[in-house]
Amino acid sequence: MGKLAELTFWTATISGGLRLATPLIFASLGETIAQRAGVLNIGLEGYMIIGALTSLYVTVESGIAVGLLAGALSGAVLALLMVWLCVRLNANQVVVGFGLTILGVGLTGYIFRLTTPLGAERRQVNILGEIHIPGLSDIPFLGEAFLSNSWMTWLAFGLVPIVWWVAQRTVFGLEVRAVGEDPDAAFARGVDVIRVRSLATLLSGLLGGLGGAAITTALVGVFEPAITAGRGFIALIVIIMVRWSAWGVAVGSFAFGLADALGANLRNIVSDSVPTEALQMIPFFVALVILIIGARRARMPKSLGFNYVPDR
């Protein structure tokens, strides 16, 4: 237990937390945009897992840049189904989202098993290494804990201000928030509600796919069935907690990543006295507490989950 007082434990936990937060940030940022526009993507898990498989398989063939792009696009393809079925045809968002999750998990499981028969070697990539920033990364504790990340993590945190800026300072952002709060009024002001919702949903597909890609290319390096392990749903929790704010997504994702890393690192120290399963529960327990606190203050976009049916 003495190790808990050691600095190395905490630098490892914090940098691990940032790493584990990376996929969550991508996914939650995209989902924030979609939910702000009034579209609830329960299928986020599906976007993520298909992005995870696609990016890994393409990276093996064509390198990381094409791989990430393919991962993002594959998420967008599933989101396209969401757009077509829910935004255009007004099908129930929860049912379709649930269907897309099963579709994503099933399809990736099918492709993985087909390309990886029992005993065959799994496709594998080297996970993205840390970037060493001269000077900054050398700062004792702070540098090691906070500033030695892979560029995927930097990219994730870099996206946060961009999404904030788009949401708060651009016409598109205003339209997104308008169609999420009151689509009728937005329509009356000349906003193409269906178009804005479609774009927002596609963005959540792109970023969800990228979040999945972050799992395989930056965290694990291999694919296995159900590798997203419910992170798509965790992202939904993060969004409730931070009240649909882009900056909040960064904080909330980091909080969850930190809990995840803490559970994993504690396992090395106290596994004799505490069952590993109890440590594995830590992040989910944190998520539950977060969910309860978030619910008390939640003020969701008013038309979240409701389709827009224009006058015909």
Partner 1 sequence: MSTTAGDATGMGSGDTTGPGNGTEALRADTPFERATIGLGTSLLAVVAALGLGAVILAGSGENPLTAYGAIVVGSFGDWFAIGETLARAAPLAVVGVGAAVALRAGVITIGAQGQLIAGSLGALCAGFVLRDVPAGVAVPLAAIAGALFGMVWVLIPALLRARLNVNEILSTLLFNEFAFLLLGYLLNNPLKEPRAITPKSEPLPDSVVLGDLVTSTRLHAGVLAVVVIVALFALWTRSTMGYRYDLFGENPRLAQSLGIPGRRIICNSLLISGALAGLAGWLQAAGLLQRLFIDIAEEIGFFGLVVAMLGGARPLGILAAALLVGALQAGGLHMQATEGIPASLSDVIQALILLGFAVRYAPQIAAIGRRVVRSLTDSFGAVAGWGRSGTDRRAAGGGTGGEA
Length of the chain: 312
Q: Which residues, in sequence order, are CB contacts of 224 under 8 Å at separation 6+?
A: 112, 122
For partner 1, the closer CB: 106 or 129 = 106
Q: In this structure, are residues 6 and 271 in contact, taking their beta carbons and an 8 Å threshold?
A: no
For partner 1, the closer CB: 35 or 150 = 35
Whole-angstrom distance, CA of residue 146 vs CA of residue 141: 8
- Min CB(105)–partner 1 separation in Å: 7
Q: Which residues pair with 222 in a beta bridge?
A: 124
- Min CB(237)–partner 1 separation in Å: 5
For partner 1, the closer CB: 70 or 218 = 70
- Min CB(218)–partner 1 separation in Å: 23
For partner 1, the closer CB: 30 or 183 = 183
- Min CB(11)–partner 1 separation in Å: 27
Going 286 to 290 to 291 to 292, the CA torsion angle's sign is positive
Q: Is 80 helix (H, G, I), strand (E, B) or coil?
A: helix
- Min CB(63)–partner 1 separation in Å: 24
Going 246 to 252 to 258 to 260, the CA torsion angle's sign is negative
Query: In Å, how far are 67, 183, 187, 212, 248 from 24, measured between CA atoms?
Result: 19, 28, 33, 9, 12
- Min CB(118)–partner 1 separation in Å: 10
Whole-angstrom distance, CA of residue 276 vs CA of residue 218: 25
User: Which DSSP letter does residue 221 get?
Assistant: S
Phi, psi of 222 (to 5 degrees): -135, 165
For partner 1, the closer CB: 15 or 307 = 307
For partner 1, the closer CB: 135 or 296 = 296
- Min CB(85)–partner 1 separation in Å: 6
Q: In this structure, are residues 308 and 179 in contact, taking their beta carbons and an 8 Å threshold?
A: yes
Q: In this structure, are residues 212 and 58 in contact, taking their beta carbons and an 8 Å threshold?
A: no
- Min CB(93)–partner 1 separation in Å: 6
- Structure tokens, 87: 């935004």
Q: How many beta carbons lie within 10 A of that of residue 102, not counting itself?
A: 12
For partner 1, the closer CB: 23 or 164 = 23
For partner 1, the closer CB: 14 or 237 = 237
Per CB under 8 A, residues contacting partner 1 are 40, 42, 81, 85, 89-96, 98-100, 102-103, 105-107, 109-114, 117, 182-184, 225, 230, 233, 236-237, 240, 275, 277-278, 280-281, 284-285, 287-288, 291-292, 295-296, 298, 302-312
